[in-house]
Amino acid sequence: MKVGYIRISSAEQNTARQDVIMEELGVEKVYTDKMSGKNMERPQLTGMMEFVREGDCIIVESISRFARNTRDLLDLVEQLEKKQVKFISQKESIDTSTSAGRFMLTIFGAVAQLEREYIRQRQREGIDIAIAEGKFNGRPKKKLDNFEEVYNAWKADTITASKASKLLKIARSSFYRRVKEYEEKQ
């Protein structure tokens, strides 16, 4: 059986491009995760790995959709090999049923991981420059119209910090940060 795996990093992204590839390749069953691939704790990936059996073939659009680092990629492929399941990455033309395919999988996995690390490094450098130039202030703060009212209730011990954060619809750590900022201004 041909089994497909699709992953996008967020719900706002679109699976259409990967869906088309799966359809063109005659994939019979598709598992789709809409979350980061930074680790292997993805419900659809787990479900697929449990579902596949000897003789099946897993197809992905590219190895970056399957795993984000070389170690995870090789671990997943090793699990598949133990189950005698073939792995194909369409973009890189990798087929693990051949020794050349297994070799290329390792090389492409390492290159993809290196590129992700370069992207993170360039992003960090850009942010550092923007901060130094006073152009980067981080994510805009959520507007809290009723903060003072909730703060006063919390200060008077009529509500807890947990209740205050729920009323403001922010995390408790954000509530404490806002309290500190508010008190410093007073």
Same domain for 23 and 86, yes or no, is yes
Contacts of 108 (CB under 8 A, 6+ apart): 63, 89, 92, 94
Query: How many structural domains compose the chain?
Result: 2
Known catalytic residue at 9: yes
CATH number at residue 10: 3.40.50.1390
Residue 108: is its pLDDT beyond 80?
Answer: no
pLDDT of residue 55: 94
Same domain for 41 and 81, yes or no, is yes
Same domain for 98 and 164, yes or no, is no
Residue 84: is its pLDDT beyond 90?
Answer: yes
Between 74 and 151, residue with greater pLDDT: 151
User: What average pLDDT does this structure show over 71-97?
Assistant: 88
pLDDT of residue 9: 86
The dihedral built from the CA positions of residue 15, 120, 95 and 40, taken in this order, carries a sign that is negative
Q: Are 77 and 87 in contact (CB under 8 A)?
A: yes
pLDDT tens, position by position, 115-172: 878 888 999 998 889 888 888 777 777 888 899 999 999 999 999 999 999 999 999 9
User: What does DSSP say about strands 94-95 and 86-89: parallel, antiparallel, or unpaired?
Assistant: antiparallel
Q: Are 30 and 40 in contact (CB under 8 A)?
A: no
Same domain for 99 and 155, yes or no, is no
Q: Which of 169, 150, 170 is nearest to 158 (CA)?
A: 150
pLDDT of residue 35: 87
Work out the pLDDT band at 74, boundaries 50, 70, 90.
confident
Give the domain extent around 162. Answer: 147-185
